Structure 1
Amino acid sequence: MVRCLVTGGAGFIGSHLVESLVRNGHRVTVLDDLSGGSRQRVPAGVDLAVGSVTDVDFVDSLFAENRFERVFHFAAFAAEAISHSVKQLNYGTNVMGSINLINASLRTGVRFFCFASSVAVYGHGETPMRESVVPVPADSYGLAKYLVERELEVTMRTQGLPFTAFRMHNVYGEWQNMRDPYRNAVAIFFNQILRGEPITVYGDGGQVRAFTYVGDVVNVVSRAAETEAAWGRAFNVGSSSTNTVLELAQAVRSAAGVPEHPIAHLPSRDEVRTAYTATELARSVFGDWTDTPLAEGLARTARWAADAGPAELQSSFDIEIGGDRIPEWARLVNERLSTASR
């Protein structure tokens, strides 16, 4: 039985990973501030430590008491498109929070560190995006993720902490946070249907993405600690199939049984137009896997969303700037939040 810590383990991907680790016989502790997660997602027998990765004393105490052998770091502020407007939150959580965990890992003899990175590190890179390309992030979120990847490389080389980073993208599935209007397109679309609102897409909806079912990601991530060939490296993990956001919206409403549900177009926003990755490297190291078809993954998600019911809109952060620097699309999201809170 290996002692594992999963940060963000009460959230979406983290909670799926916790279940996988428990099934494999590991002893798991979850660290989560519950800003986007839920106590109900933590299985019986798993310890929940409620707190933030940004709290140095809390993190150090947790590590000292438990002497974890493996750390899976999935806690993050993950609203990529708005990250440049919340720089303190983005860098404080995603960079300094990660540094707190790395330091605590070094102090207490952690044997392996898994980091949830993102396709956002590539920015406007050539597609399909490959690990052999030097990333040039296009936003604050991608930059934060890349900084942590580089720090982990330095730490492994100079201080001997093995790590693997996974560059994930557009992961969806059961237990996704439907409350958050800023992130997770699939969850936002299902919640808009459940709330009787139009599905909203930015611009013409022609943005190209690869939408990845959560179980496919977890099946790879859960094996990283035992795969020494993966240590010290970053891997793309995700679906090999691509769709436009408009095609996704149409597929979501079909999965929900309302193929004629209205779709509304919001103003365009500054974002990478095409983002999907090559996954041959991960498949060569971890073994090939079969991507869950989008229709099948959405059908599973639709059943869960219907059982969960409509979610009240809620955001865990405030935009740090004001005036004309707030983009129009973000103003519209804020208006929806304000209306929902009345």
Structure 2
Amino acid sequence: MVTGGAGYIGAHVVRAFREVGLDVVVLDDLSSGHASFVPEGVPLVEGTILDTDLVAATLTEHAVAGVVHLAGYKYAGVSVQRPLHTYEQNVTGTASLLEAMARAGVPRIVFSSSAAVYGTPDVDLVTEQTLTHPESPYGESKLIGEWLLRDQARAVELAHTSLRYFNVVGSGTDEVVDTSPHNLFPLVLDALAQGRAPRINGVDYPTPDGTCVRDYVHVADLAAAHVAAARALEQGVELQRVYNLGSGEGSSVRQIMQAAAAVTGVGLEPEIAARRPGDPARIVASGELAARDLGWRNTHTLHDMLASAWSARAAR
């Protein structure tokens, strides 16, 4: 079962499972997902993970062997204004899911965590040993979700791992597009498509071109990591408690703008704005542990990422 399987990332995970011949059922309340993102032939149960009885019934009815848990409230900035909602969706929701899994006897889970658990790390390359210091209710809720899995595994049979993402971009199919109003790629591509100049917030950071550097991972590569983790757990492989899904290399905001202009053919000069409070100069993560244990790596170039996002946007 993929919770949040009608969302941008979840729909790619569903497709990745289907590509290797594994059946999937989706549970999604469609608060930010889209029923049209779920492939034909995949059962979609419309409901919330807060409904423990519904989740347990779905697990039992579909003879679920394991869960990939992506459902949750994902907007870090907005979570500061909506902390109680964020905790309800991400913490109470995860506890409800784990209760339902225990009732139904489902012993495996891959959890969608986040790089937000690190806050603003003071290192050039983030590893799984980097100290966690979340700076938003969203980041805190994801870290608590990891703790819930750890503690539940002490009480019942539960094989688990958590995948900490950085910036997820691109599309693996024109049928699924990132519709977030907060993510950089949709903001840049929407601006170019509408003839508006995209915005760069801050050009005086201590980086090679003065703009923030981030780690970008293609959504199809990310989906493949979930499948690899789920299959490893099913085969009895003892995985680490957490894995970073990072490329080990960063791209600056200005590089994103230049690549977007090359892909779209729209050469609007970016608007320069002031820094946003709290934006760190650089966050890049090592994916070495995931490469070792899951055989995972980021296979797409920055051009690939933008070209696939642009294609999906045009097909929308």
TM-score, normalised with respect to structure 1: 0.82
Q: Which string of whole-angstrom CA distances, capped at 9 and with x for unpartnered residues, describes residues 294-317 of structure 1? A: 112211221221222xxxxxxxxx
Paired residue for 2:129, among 122, 128, 132?
132
Output the amino acid matched with 2:96.
N
SS in 2 for 1:115: strand
Compute the displacement of 1:223 (Å): 1.2
After superposition, where does 1:79-158 map in structure 2 within 5 Å? 79-125=75-121, 126-158=123-155
Output the amino acid matched with 2:132.
P
User: How many Å separate the matches in 2 of 1:177 and 1:290?
Assistant: 18
After superposition, where does 1:222-237 map in structure 2 within 5 Å? 222-227=227-232, 228-237=236-245
Compute the displacement of 1:116 (Å): 0.6
CA pair 249-270 structure 1, distance change in 2 beyond 3 A: same
SS in 1 for 2:25: strand
SS in 1 for 2:24: strand
Q: Which string of whole-angstrom CA distances, capped at 9 and with x for unpartnered residues, describes residues 163-222 of structure 1? A: 1110011001123333x32x2211221122223332123333722211111111122211
Paired residue for 2:220, among 209, 212, 215?
215
Contact 1:193–1:261 (CA under 8 A) maintained in structure 2 = no
SS in 2 for 1:148: helix
2:192 corresponds in structure 1 to 193
Q: How many residue pairs align between the two structures?
A: 302
Paired residue for 2:304, among 293, 296, 306?
296
1:318 corresponds in structure 2 to none
User: How many Å separate the matches in 2 of 1:238 and 1:147?
Assistant: 21
Output the amino acid matched with 2:119.
G
User: How many Å separate the matches in 1 of 2:293 and 2:60?
Assistant: 33
1:176 corresponds in structure 2 to 177
Compute the displacement of 1:144 (Å): 0.7
Contact 2:68–2:230 (CA under 8 A) maintained in structure 1 = no
CA pair 207-230 structure 1, distance change in 2 beyond 3 A: farther
SS in 2 for 1:89: helix
Output the amino acid matched with 2:14.
V
SS in 2 for 1:9: coil
Q: Which runs of 5+ in 2 are unaligned?
A: 204-209
SS in 2 for 1:226: helix
Compute the displacement of 1:59 (Å): 2.5
Compute the displacement of 1:269 (Å): 3.0
User: How many Å separate the matches in 2 of 1:272 and 1:59?
Assistant: 39
Contact 2:192–2:268 (CA under 8 A) maintained in structure 1 = no
1:326 corresponds in structure 2 to none
Output the amino acid matched with 2:297.
W
After superposition, where does 1:245-324 map in structure 2 within 5 Å? 245-265=253-273, 268-287=276-295, 289-308=297-316
Contact 1:229–1:285 (CA under 8 A) maintained in structure 2 = no
Q: What is the percent sequence identity of the aligned residues?
A: 30
1:240 corresponds in structure 2 to 248
Contact 1:114–1:164 (CA under 8 A) maintained in structure 2 = yes
Output the amino acid matched with 1:177.
D
User: How many Å separate the matches in 1 of 2:197 and 2:52?
Assistant: 43
After superposition, where does 1:4-83 map in structure 2 within 5 Å? 5-83=1-79
Contact 2:27–2:47 (CA under 8 A) maintained in structure 1 = yes
User: How many Å separate the matches in 2 of 1:143 and 1:17?
Assistant: 24
Compute the displacement of 1:263 (Å): 3.2
CA pair 290-91 structure 1, distance change in 2 beyond 3 A: closer
TM-score, normalised with respect to structure 2: 0.89
CA-based RMSD of the aligned residues comes to 1.9
SS in 2 for 1:82: helix
User: How many Å separate the matches in 1 of 2:213 and 2:170?
Assistant: 19
CA pair 232-288 structure 1, distance change in 2 beyond 3 A: closer
Compute the displacement of 1:240 (Å): 2.3
User: How many Å separate the matches in 1 of 2:279 and 2:77?
Assistant: 7
User: How many Å separate the matches in 2 of 1:68 and 1:8?
Assistant: 16
SS in 2 for 1:49: strand
Q: Which runs of 5+ in 1 are unaligned?
A: 309-342
